[in-house]
């Protein structure tokens, strides 16, 4: 199929809910992808932060090949070795005590589960989320998502959700009451433009939750598995949640998600109260085991920390030279570069020059590259970005 017919068919027959880039991607390897014309791109979007272990990671590829020849589907009502292996592996890298997981297929689904188990366990109804939050677009998850453009067209949503100001403990204290079941927070906010909370924020949240019998949910869907330079972003502040949700790069690009908690919290759900046909699918589990092994064996969290420091430093230098850059912020390889104007043209220019970048809102460039990105590739990203900035200096 040629480029034009692919674009035409997708445009005619898909729901049309994605903001499309004018490129047909054909294949990928590590931090690189190629389009249908053979043009190479450095992928700093990484499938929205999914390609942690790189595109078509060889360990993930062979795990998927092997598993696909053995068994592709196995409902959760049966036991399966690929699933057992993943659950055990996951329990070895999650915070102590959080050694029970519900496996599903996406981040939003993991958060849906978290909402249900938190309410059931607490026997209370209210949930506190934050300004700037993003937890997904299914009805429950979008109810906890701050941006009105995602919520308002679909009201009425989940009732009894309150939003506190991210980073502001007083606003949390105002929001909670005796019917608050849970507080959900991204340890570093992603969609709103890479926002790091004030140093004591998560610790104080933990204390408030303990004092008031409220469950603390960390959405580590974008930050987890090494992205920020630690296995879990919350480790930067030494805080552990009661429930943690993960997804994105957990299975090297195969769809998966998980809500992870303690036996005590999980046991509040009765058999059948929450299941999914594909949850714990053997193919996804085999891919996830391979991806987790790769992350651990190659110490990708530490790689993200080191590479992130280099990329951050280079972006800071650009900020020094360009008034157009307001701020560079981030942790590990999760970095936002806030500009003083809309960035659409910059992203377009970078794309033309072989670098895929991501946006957060209209004026923040977001970097979520594979953690296996090489230093030369980061240097190329920087040089392409520099070339693309002066063109729009006059804005
Ligand atoms: C922090 C966070 N939570 C939840 C989600 C939703 O995940 P999914 O798109 O897999 O439903 C995302 C996706 O970007 C996210 O960044």
Per residue in 186-224, pLDDT tens?
999 999 999 999 999 999 999 999 999 999 999 999 999
Mutate to test the pocket of ligand 1, among 105, 136, 192 (most ligand atoms within 8 A of CB): 136
Task: Judge if the beta carbon of residue 191 lies within 6 A of ligand 1.
Answer: yes
CA distance 43 to 368: 9
Longest CA pairwise span in the chain (Å): 62
Instruction: Give the integer Cα–Cα distance in Å for 187 and 234.
Output: 6
- Ligand 1 pocket member 314 (CB < 6 A): no
Nearest atom within ligand 1 for CA of residue 257: 10
250 lines ligand 1 (CB under 6 A): no
108 C-beta closer than 6 A to ligand 1? yes
Beta strands 215-219 and 243-246, pairing class = parallel
> Do the beta carbons of residue 75 and residue 388 sit within 8 Å?
no
Q: Give the pLDDT confidence score for residue 279 in this predicted structure.
A: 98
**What is the per-residue DSSP string for 135-152?**
--SSHHHHHT---HHHHG
Q: Using a 6 Å cutoff on CB, does residue 163 contact ligand 1?
A: no
User: Closest Cα to atom 6, ligand 1: which residue?
Assistant: 136
Residue 196 CA to ligand 1 center (angstroms) comes to 17
Task: Give me the mean pLDDT over the 129-141 stretch.
Answer: 98
Would the CB of 373 count as within 6 Å of ligand 1? no
What average pLDDT does range 71-81 have in this prediction?
A: 98
| Dihedral sign from CA coordinates of 82, 85, 91, 93 | negative
Nearest CA to ligand 1 atom 10: 107
> Which residue has its alpha carbon closest to ligand 1 atom 8?
107
State the average pLDDT over residues 18-35: 97
Q: Tell me if 150 CB under 6 Å of ligand 1.
A: no
Average pLDDT over residues 144-157: 98
- For 46, list phi and psi in degrees, rounded to 5: 55, 45
Give the model's pLDDT for residue 393. 46
247 C-beta closer than 6 A to ligand 1: yes
Q: Using CA positions, which residue lies closest to atom 3 of ligand 1?
A: 135
Query: How confident is the model over 298-319, as pLDDT tens digits?
Result: 999 999 999 999 999 999 999 9
CB distance 330 to 323 below 8 Å: no
Contact 383, 376 (CB under 8 A): no
Alpha-carbon separation of residue 295 from 33, 49, 200 (angstroms): 21, 14, 28
pLDDT of residue 61: 98
pLDDT in tens, 272-292: 999 999 999 999 999 999 999
Token output for 134: 């993003």
Cα 38 to Cα 294: distance, rounded to the nearest angstrom: 28
Q: Which fold has domain 58-297?
A: 3.40.640
* 8 Å CB contact between 231 and 211: no
- Count how many residues are written for the chain: 395
Please enumerate in sequence order all residues whose Cβ is within 8 A of that of 153, keeping only pairs 6 or more positions apart, or say none.
Answer: none
Domain limits of the chain?
A: 1-36, 58-297, 299-358
Instruction: Evaluate: CB of 106 within 6 angstroms of ligand 1.
Output: yes
> Quick check: 389 and 346 in contact, CB under 8 A?
yes
- When pLDDT is cut at 50, 70 and 90, the band that residue 392 belongs to is very low
Ligand 1 contact via 140 beta carbon (within 6 Å): no
- Please tell me the distance between residue 38's alpha carbon and the centre of ligand 1 in angstroms: 30
Give mean pLDDT, residues 254-267: 98
Q: Are 42 and 377 in contact (CB under 8 A)?
A: yes
- How does strand 325-331 pair with strand 257-261? unpaired
Q: What is the pLDDT of residue 29?
A: 98
What does the pLDDT look like over 38-64, one tens digit per residue?
Answer: 999 999 999 999 999 999 999 999 999
In terms of DSSP bridges, do strands 100-104 and 257-261 run parallel, antiparallel, or are they unpaired?
antiparallel
Residue 391 pLDDT exceeds 60: no
Select from 87, 128, 147 the least CA-distant residue to 217.
128
For residue 271, is pLDDT > 60? yes
How large a percentage of the chain has pLDDT more than 70? 98
**Cα(177) to centroid(ligand 1), Å:** 28
Q: Is pLDDT at 121 greater than 70 in this prediction?
A: yes
> Is it the case that residue 390 has pLDDT exceeding 80?
no
C-alpha 295/C-alpha 309 separation (Å) is 19
Q: Is the CB of 366 under 6 A from ligand 1?
A: no
Q: What is the pLDDT of residue 361?
A: 85
> In this structure, what are the phi and psi dihedrals at residue 217, rounded to the nearest 5 degrees?
-110, 125
* 162: DSSP letter: E
Dig out the tokens for 325 from the structure: 């850059």
Residue 136 CB less than 6 A away from ligand 1:
yes
* DSSP secondary structure letter of residue 190: -
What mean pLDDT comes out for the span 322-343?
96
Q: How far apart are CA 215 and CA 208, in angstroms?
A: 10
Supply 103's token pair.
């496996």
Residue-wise DSSP of 240-304: --SEEEE-GGGGBTB--EEEEE-HHHHTTSPTTSS--SSTT-HHHHHHHHHHHHHHHHTTHHHHH
Query: How far, in Å, from the CA of 133 to the mean position of ligand 1?
Result: 10
Residue 73 has what pLDDT?
98
């Amino acid at each position: 199929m040629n480029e034009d017919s692919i674009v035409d068919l997708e445009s005619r027959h898909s729901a049309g809910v994605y903001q499309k880039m004018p490129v047909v991607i054909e294949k990928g390897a590590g931090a690189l992808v190629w389009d249908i014309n053979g043009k190479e791109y450095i992928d700093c979007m990484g499938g929205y932060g999914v390609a942690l272990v790189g595109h078509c990671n060889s360990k993930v590829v062979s795990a998927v090949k092997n598993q696909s020849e053995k068994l592709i589907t196995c409902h959760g009502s049966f036991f399966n070795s690929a699933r057992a292996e993943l659950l055990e592996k996951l329990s070895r890298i999650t915070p102590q005590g959080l050694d029970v997981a519900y496996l599903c297929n996406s981040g939003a689904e993991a958060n849906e589960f978290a909402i249900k188990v938190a309410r059931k366990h607490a026997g209370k109804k209210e949930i506190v989320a934050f300004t700037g939050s993003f937890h997904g677009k299914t009805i429950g998850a979008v109810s906890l998502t701050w941006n009105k453009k995602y919520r308002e067209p679909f009201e009425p949503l989940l009732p009894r959700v309150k939003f506190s100001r991210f980073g502001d403990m007083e606003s949390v204290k105002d929001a909670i009451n005796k019917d608050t079941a849970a507080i959900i927070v991204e340890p570093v906010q992603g969609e709103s433009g890479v926002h790091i909370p004030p140093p004591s924020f998560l610790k104080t949240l933990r204390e408030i939750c303990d004092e008031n019998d409220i469950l603390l949910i960390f959405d580590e869907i974008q930050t987890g598995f090494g992205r920020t330079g630690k296995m879990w972003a919350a480790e930067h502040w030494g805080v552990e949640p009661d429930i943690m949700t993960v997804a994105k790069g957990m299975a090297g690009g195969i769809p998966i998600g998980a809500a992870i908690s303690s036996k005590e919290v999980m046991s509040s759900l009765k058999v059948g109260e929450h299941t999914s046909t594909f949850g714990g699918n053997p193919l996804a589990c085999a891919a996830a085991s391979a991806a987790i092994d790769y992350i651990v064996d190659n110490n990708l969290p530490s790689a993200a920390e080191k590479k992130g420091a280099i990329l951050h430093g280079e972006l800071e230098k650009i900020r020094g030279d360009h008034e157009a850059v307001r701020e560079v912020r981030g942790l590990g390889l999760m970095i936002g570069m806030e500009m003083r104007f809309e960035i659409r043209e910059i992203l377009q220019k970078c794309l033309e020059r072989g670098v895929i970048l991501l946006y957060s809102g209209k004026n923040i460039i977001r970097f979520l590259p594979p953690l296996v990105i090489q230093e030369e590739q980061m240097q190329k990203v920087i040089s392409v970005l520099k070339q693309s900035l002066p063109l729009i200096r006059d804005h």
